[in-house]
């Protein structure tokens, strides 16, 4: 029942989320220290929302992600990984136990968050979580990939991941940020010219004499 509920959960509306700037939420690491999402700025970021007592898909997602990323390189070097729990019952101890159970490397970030901070994070990703009768949650099966400037670049859906797909998603996220930086002066200039054109049109309209009746 939990597996079916999770599989049927609504997927994010990518037409609204892609390119969205993530909020700089405060997170609580599994060593009880706090950090902000902005601490991950500068590298592509994989965000994996889970809950530690999930009997089916969350463990599969984490294990598959771990195995695929071993082929890409160490987390924290060329990219960041953040596993964040959306279960209010999960705390730092639960995340430490989950890290040990899943055999995750030290630089793989594990976190929980206060309800308001968690809502802001999941809302920006359009990641919908629905409590289910009897316990557990219905939720999308995916990881989100952020650009180095912490904007949403893409999602990789499913519970099993291939290293090639994740590598492509990370590269695309980095390339998107590079493209924006490269063309930012052009974008700014175009915006200034457009704004100037609007002001000029308004002034011209005001100065135009009224037609004789």
**Does the pLDDT of residue 37 top 50, yes or no?**
yes
Q: Per the structure block, which two tokens stand in for 208? A: 């135009």
pLDDT of 165 = 97
- In eight-state DSSP terms, residue 145 is E
**pTM of the complete model:** 0.81
Pick from 70, 105, 177, 45: which is nearest to 35 by CA? 45
**Architecture (CATH level 2) of domain 2-177:** 3-Layer(aba) Sandwich (3.40)
Give first-to-last CA distance, the chain, whole Å. Answer: 77
pLDDT of the residue at 147: 98
Q: How many CB atoms lie within 10 A of CB 141?
A: 19
Q: What is the mean pLDDT of residues 179-188?
A: 48
Could you tell me the residue ranges of all domains in the chain? 2-177
Please report, for residues 141, 180, 190, 197, the alpha-carbon distance to residue 194 in angstroms, rounded to integers and kept in the order given: 42, 19, 6, 5
Give the model's pLDDT for residue 177: 75
Residue scoring higher pLDDT (27 or 200): 27
- Residue 6: its pLDDT value, please? 46
pLDDT band at residue 152 using 50, 70 and 90 as cut-offs: very high
Range from 21-25, 100-104, 164-168, 190-194 carrying the lowest mean pLDDT: 190-194
Q: How far is CA 24 from CA 17, 36, 92, 105, 207, in A?
A: 16, 6, 20, 24, 47
């Amino acid at each position: 029942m939990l597996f079916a509920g999770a599989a049927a959960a609504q997927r994010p509306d990518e037409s609204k989320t892609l390119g969205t700037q993530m909020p700089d939420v405060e997170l609580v690491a599994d060593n009880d220290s706090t950090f902000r999402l902005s601490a991950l700025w500068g590298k592509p970021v994989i965000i994996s929302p889970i809950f530690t007592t999930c009997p089916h898909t969350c463990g599969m997602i984490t294990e598959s992600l771990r195995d695929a990323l071993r082929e890409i390189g160490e987390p924290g070097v060329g990219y960041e990984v953040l596993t964040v729990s959306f279960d209010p019952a999960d705390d730092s101890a639960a995340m430490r136990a989950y890290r040990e159970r899943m055999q995750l490397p030290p630089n793989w970030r594990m976190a929980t968050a206060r309800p308001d901070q968690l809502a802001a994070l999941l809302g920006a990703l359009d990641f919908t979580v629905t409590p289910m009768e009897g316990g557990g949650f219905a939720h999308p099966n995916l990881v989100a990939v952020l650009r180095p400037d912490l904007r949403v670049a893409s999602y990789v859906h499913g519970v099993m991941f291939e290293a090639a797909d994740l590598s492509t998603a990370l590269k695309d996220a980095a390339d998107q940020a590079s493209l924006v930086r490269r063309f930012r002066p052009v974008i700014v200039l175009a915006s200034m010219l457009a704004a100037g054109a609007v002001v000029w049109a308004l002034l011209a309209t005001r100065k135009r004499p009224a037609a004789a009746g």
